[in-house]
Amino acid sequence: MAQPDASKHSSDDQILREIADKERSLQEELARAQAEAARLVEQAQREADEIRARARGQLEREAADAAAAGTAEAQKVTAEILERAGAEAKAFRARAEARVPQAVDVVVREVLGDRG
């Protein structure tokens, strides 16, 4: 009967070794999976940083384009206003010049009296 006990003991030892081997294998697999996950997280972070940098660059370009368009529009409006103001000033001068003879007559009559 000693043999059945030895055989049972040997079988139990074998099962324990298999369990330990399986546990070690699972721990190694877990370590590899964790390392891969860390690598993927790091890669995703780098890609996210690159995407943010590209988006910032695009926003800066769009803001510069919008500012340039705004400046161009402001310059256009300013030029139009200055052109209208110049035309109004020219028309005002022309009306004033047309009235100079009448103004001179009024001044002469006032200074000389109504001796006409």
Dump pLDDT digits (tens) for 84-112: 999 999 999 999 999 989 988 888 888 88
pLDDT band at 12 (very low <50, low <70, confident <90, very high): confident
- Residue-level pLDDT at 1: 43
Read off the DSSP letter of residue 45.
H
Q: What is the pTM of this model?
A: 0.51
Q: What is the pLDDT of residues 30-63, one digit of tens each?
A: 999 999 999 999 999 999 999 999 999 999 999 9
CA distance 10 to 17: 10
